[in-house]
A and B are shown apart, each in its own frame.
Chain A
Amino acid sequence: MNNHSQNLPTRISLLELAQSGKDHPAWEELLDYYRPFVRRILTRLGVSASDLDDACQLALMRLWRDLVNYRHQPNRARFRTWLSQLIHNTAMDWHRHQRRNNQTMSTETKELKQSLMCESDLEEQIEKEWRQHIVNLALERLKSVFSGDALDVFVRSVEGESAAQISKDLNIREESVYVLKHRVKKRLILEAFELRRELEFPDSTP
């Protein structure tokens, strides 16, 4: 994953690879990246923990099915809007399916309706979740690049701790604290950039 920087401009993203065919091995990796995100959104949309695995599977199936079509209409909407609609629809369908199976759950339906009512709010929340998801993934990748101390330096400095304090606590020279902080942040942005490039279709609108 880390050795692709040299031919970055011409490289095909993971998403694009997955689009090229439904049997492409890139799918597995792509879905691994999406699964935690989808699960979290579904939870927000009221899917119960017991149903989460199934609902997630359903959403990813749809993603797998619809992604090819998405390509044909590239500039229609932002990828995340498309994705959120997909997840939303999946959740809706899931709830409908649930209702059919269990007529008595009226209160639940009410809640569900409430939550589904504000779709614009949902998109905003999904955007927020996605941002966190990407940065989190990037942070996760940093674990294999930097030592725990380096990450701690970065996190502590983000929290506003002084370089002197960090230097003292972690037994690192103060100059090193500055360098590490800077490097980790640079690398974090780079990793986030990589992930976004792999997992997002570039939005047409700037």
Chain B
Amino acid sequence: MTNRSASRDPVERIERINPIVDDVFDQADPTKAYGQALESDDDICPLFCAITRIKSRYQEPELIGRGGMKEVYRVYDAKAARHAALAKPLPEFSRDQFDAFLREAHLTARLDHPNIIDLFDMGVDDEGRPFFTMELKQGRSLRGVLNSIKNGEQLGEFPLQRRLEIFQRVCDAIAYAHSRRILHLDIKPENIFVGDYGEVKVCDWGMGVVMAQEQGEHNSAVLLDPDLYGSLLDSAKGTPVYMAPEQKNKRQTKTPQMDIYAMGCLLRELLTLELPADGSDTDSNLDAALAATIGKATARIPSDRYQNVEELRNDVSRFLGGYSSSVERLSLRREAALFYRRHREACAIAFGSLAIFGICVAYFVIQLRLSRQQAVEALERSERAQAVAEQSQAEAVTSLAQYLAEKEESEKRQYQQVLSAIDLSDFVTDSKFLRDEALPSAIAHSMKHLESILIFDPPPDSKAWLQKYYLYFLTQNFDLALELVDQGKFIEPDLVLLADKYLELQDAEGHLDTDEFIALLRELCSPGPGLSRLRRGQLAEKMLIFDSLQRNAIADKVRVVQAWIEINNHKWQNPEMVYEANTETIRLRGKGLTRLARIFSGGGPANQKLCLVYILKPRVLDLREIEISRLSDLTGLELQELDIRQTPVTNLLPLQNNRSLRRVYIDPDQVSEFQLANLPESIEIVQESE
């Protein structure tokens, strides 16, 4: 307060609250005894005020249990604002038994362990009777749990593992108590509390005793002097089945082995869920390790039992952890089983992996065998199939061959039909064997025959079509011929062009005039632009003959014949040809006229060529001074007189079989005597020089 700076803030504040200073000061007048009202004001410390006002701390008692020496109530602790368990001595107990009651409270208070019930408070109530309070938890006794398990209600909630854990908690509590030299002496499921959240609390230390002091140790808690706290209450009894045999002797010094016996009984009941039958070991169903543990804990002679609770606990832990307990006779099988229990996950994984591996191997082996079998079968099948295939292929080949043979046969047949038709056609139209008048009917016959072949519609490249075209062309039916072209038949292109060209030039009746016909002949025999172009001498010859039947004017015929001769003798100079109709005489003059048969091949053999002047049918042929050398050129003529003077002809043999010839004019010495001698007698040889 001497420090001005420290009080600066309040000074400022005091100035700020100046208006109420007098009011505050007056209200704080001690003489008005206002302070009392201030102190009891709940606004400042309501909780404190409430607690100071509490007269009865434990309220709303509700009896929840009654033991051999005390009653337990559920009460509300108004000061601590919680519920607690309040124990009172039984009403029939009087003052000389109160100490025994309080002794339990002191024992419990001395034990500070999570698995031992906590003491809160103890004292003397308004009626002058002692009481103490303990923690109160939600839950029930282990007895209740065991009963409900036995009824099959909570087996899932309390499996063996869980029950053994509870047992371990009890071991912890008892071990701790023993370390504090306190024996419980009434361990049983009724005295073990199991909370809803896993808490395990050992209660009811009313039978408990403090062990006698051993030498060398000192106990600071004089209140727990065994002389004072020996079991004063002989009337209270332990539960017979859990009580060690020696405990029935009241004078017997109390030892930890008594608790251990009870623990053994507890363990047995936790496992079998049955109250231990006196003296009989019904552990046949139990795990060997646990049975051995129980056997050791409940041995009749105390010195045979576990020396302390820790050992018992350790054995149970080893069982839970999967190790063999210390009391167990070991076998390999047992160790293996325990090993499995210890390393459950690892073993499960290992065995699982092994099993999966095994299954996989088996599966693959089976698959392998199956696939091998399948492969063998498939091989057999394929061999069979191959055999069948080969057989059928062979059959197919055979039949194909047959088919081909048949086809070939039929084609051959057809071809031969075509050929024969063509041959026939050629044959029947061959001018050499025909009389002029017969040609049209021969053509018609040939056409008819061809049609009968063409009914079978041979391929477009068949010669039959071409033959038909020839016939049309020959008869100057260019329009019909071109129809074949339009139908896509294979026709020689030069003929197509010619047909096309001369169709235009035909008159209304389908005739060409003389000049045009001559032009057509020339074109047929002229060498075309292409080498392949034929000089169609035979066709031209046939056309010439056919045309001559149509062409009546003799002058036209003469012109055509002269043209025809010129076509075949392109070196003919100063051509002169005279036809005397009354004598049917043809007179030919001029240099360079060497042949009277067509020089262009086409179709048949050369000897089938007709004489160039055939269509005029001369009876007298005057060939003087022309350069013709072969009389075979005169084929087809029915001459009566022949003049071959001043010609190079030396051979008269072609005349040998001539029946019509009556007279031949030759130069002297033109032919040999021998030849003359062989001539028929009907022929008169006139040898005279001009």
Asked if A183 meets B28 with Cβ closer than 8 Å, knowing A131-B22, A143-B10, A158-B20, the reply is no
Closest chain B residue to A188 by CB distance? B24
Interface residues of A in 127-163 (CB under 8 A from B): 131-132, 134-140, 143, 151, 154-155, 158-159
- 8 of the cross-chain contacts (CB-CB < 8 Å) are A9-B36, A35-B2, A135-B14, A155-B13, A186-B44, A192-B24, A197-B35, A203-B31
Give the distance in Å from the alpha carbon of A190 to the alpha carbon of B30 in the complex.
10
Asked if A192 meets B16 with Cβ closer than 8 Å, knowing A8-B36, A136-B10, A136-B11, the reply is no
Checking A33, A131, A143, A202 against B31 with a beta-carbon cut-off of 8 angstroms, the contacting residue is A202
Q: CB of B41 within 8 A of chain A? A: yes
Q: CB of A32 within 8 A of chain B? A: yes
Pair B36/A139 contact, Cβ less than 8 Å: no
Q: CB of B34 within 8 A of chain A? A: yes
Checking A32, A36, A134, A189 against B38 with a beta-carbon cut-off of 8 angstroms, the contacting residue is A189
Of A35, A134, A135, A202, most buried by chain B (CB within 10 Å of CB) is: A135
Listed in ascending order, the chain A residues whose CB lies under 8 Å from chain B are: 5, 8-9, 32-33, 35-36, 131-132, 134-140, 143, 151, 154-155, 158-159, 179, 182-183, 185-197, 200, 202-203, 206
Give the distance in Å from the alpha carbon of A26 to the alpha carbon of B1 in the complex.
17
Query: Taking the nearest CB of chain B, how far is it from the CB of A79, in angstroms?
Result: 12
Q: CB of B39 within 8 A of chain A? A: yes
Pair B28/A190 contact, Cβ less than 8 Å: yes
Give the distance in Å from the alpha carbon of A197 to the alpha carbon of B574 in the complex.
186
Pair B13/A187 contact, Cβ less than 8 Å: no
**Main secondary structure on A side of the interface with B:** helix
The 9 closest A-B pairs by CB, nearest first: A192-B28, A193-B28, A197-B30, A136-B14, A131-B25, A190-B38, A158-B17, A135-B21, A202-B31
Q: CB of B43 within 8 A of chain A? A: yes
Closest chain B residue to A206 by CB distance? B31
Give the distance in Å from the alpha carbon of A182 to the alpha carbon of B43 in the complex.
8
Pair B25/A135 contact, Cβ less than 8 Å: yes
Checking B10, B18, B19, B30 against A193 with a beta-carbon cut-off of 8 angstroms, the contacting residue is B30
Pair A192/B25 contact, Cβ less than 8 Å: yes
Checking B7, B14, B30, B43 against A132 with a beta-carbon cut-off of 8 angstroms, the contacting residue is B14
Question: Contacts of A33 on B, CB cut-off 8 Å?
Answer: 1
Besides the known contacts A189-B38, A193-B28, 6 further A-B residue pairs in the complex with CB atoms under 8 A apart: A135-B21, A155-B17, A186-B38, A186-B44, A190-B35, A190-B39
Query: Taking the nearest CB of chain B, how far is it from the CB of A81, in angstroms?
Result: 16
Q: CB of B669 within 8 A of chain A? A: no
Question: Contacts of B11 on A, CB cut-off 8 Å?
Answer: 136
Listed in ascending order, the chain B residues whose CB lies under 8 Å from chain A are: 1-2, 7, 10-11, 13-14, 16-22, 24-25, 27-31, 34-36, 38-39, 41, 43-44
Pair B28/A134 contact, Cβ less than 8 Å: yes
Question: Contacts of A185 on B, CB cut-off 8 Å?
Answer: 20, 24
Pair B17/A132 contact, Cβ less than 8 Å: no
Number of A-B contacts (CB under 8 A): 98
Pair B28/A196 contact, Cβ less than 8 Å: yes
Query: Taking the nearest CB of chain B, how far is it from the CB of A45, in angstroms?
Result: 20
Asked if A139 meets B30 with Cβ closer than 8 Å, knowing A5-B39, A35-B2, the reply is no
Give the distance in Å from the alpha carbon of A182 to the alpha carbon of B41 in the complex.
11
Question: Contacts of B35 on A, CB cut-off 8 Å?
Answer: 8, 190, 193-194, 197
Query: Taking the nearest CB of chain B, how far is it from the CB of A11, in angstroms?
Result: 11
Query: Taking the nearest CB of chain A, how far is it from the CB of B27, in angstroms?
Result: 5
Question: Contacts of B38 on A, CB cut-off 8 Å?
Answer: 186, 189-190, 193
Pair B1/A140 contact, Cβ less than 8 Å: yes
Pair B16/A189 contact, Cβ less than 8 Å: no
Question: Contacts of A132 on B, CB cut-off 8 Å?
Answer: 14, 18, 21
Checking B2, B18, B28, B31 against A189 with a beta-carbon cut-off of 8 angstroms, the contacting residue is B28
Give the distance in Å from the alpha carbon of A33 to the alpha carbon of B1 in the complex.
8
Give the distance in Å from the alpha carbon of A188 to the alpha carbon of B35 in the complex.
12
Pair A139/B25 contact, Cβ less than 8 Å: no
Question: Contacts of B17 on A, CB cut-off 8 Å?
Answer: 135, 139, 154-155, 158-159
Question: Contacts of A183 on B, CB cut-off 8 Å?
Answer: 43-44
Question: Contacts of B18 on A, CB cut-off 8 Å?
Answer: 132
Give the distance in Å from the alpha carbon of A125 to the alpha carbon of B35 in the complex.
27
Give the distance in Å from the alpha carbon of A32 to the alpha carbon of B43 in the complex.
32
Of B7, B10, B22, B27, most buried by chain A (CB within 10 Å of CB) is: B10
Checking A131, A140, A182, A195 against B10 with a beta-carbon cut-off of 8 angstroms, the contacting residue is A140
Closest chain B residue to A141 by CB distance? B10
Question: Contacts of B44 on A, CB cut-off 8 Å?
Answer: 183, 186-187, 190
Question: Contacts of A193 on B, CB cut-off 8 Å?
Answer: 27-30, 34-35, 38
Question: Contacts of B25 on A, CB cut-off 8 Å?
Answer: 131, 134-135, 192, 196
Query: Taking the nearest CB of chain B, how far is it from the CB of A142, in angstroms?
Result: 8
Question: Contacts of A135 on B, CB cut-off 8 Å?
Answer: 14, 17, 21, 24-25
Give the distance in Å from the alpha carbon of A188 to the alpha carbon of B14 in the complex.
12
Checking A134, A139, A182, A192 against B13 with a beta-carbon cut-off of 8 angstroms, the contacting residue is A139
Question: Contacts of B39 on A, CB cut-off 8 Å?
Answer: 5, 8, 190
Asked if A36 meets B14 with Cβ closer than 8 Å, knowing A158-B20, A183-B43, the reply is no
Give the distance in Å from the alpha carbon of A135 to the alpha carbon of B28 in the complex.
10
Asked if A138 meets B24 with Cβ closer than 8 Å, knowing A8-B39, A187-B44, A193-B35, the reply is yes
Asked if A202 meets B30 with Cβ closer than 8 Å, knowing A5-B39, A158-B19, the reply is yes
Closest chain B residue to A135 by CB distance? B21
Give the distance in Å from the alpha carbon of A11 to the alpha carbon of B622 in the complex.
197
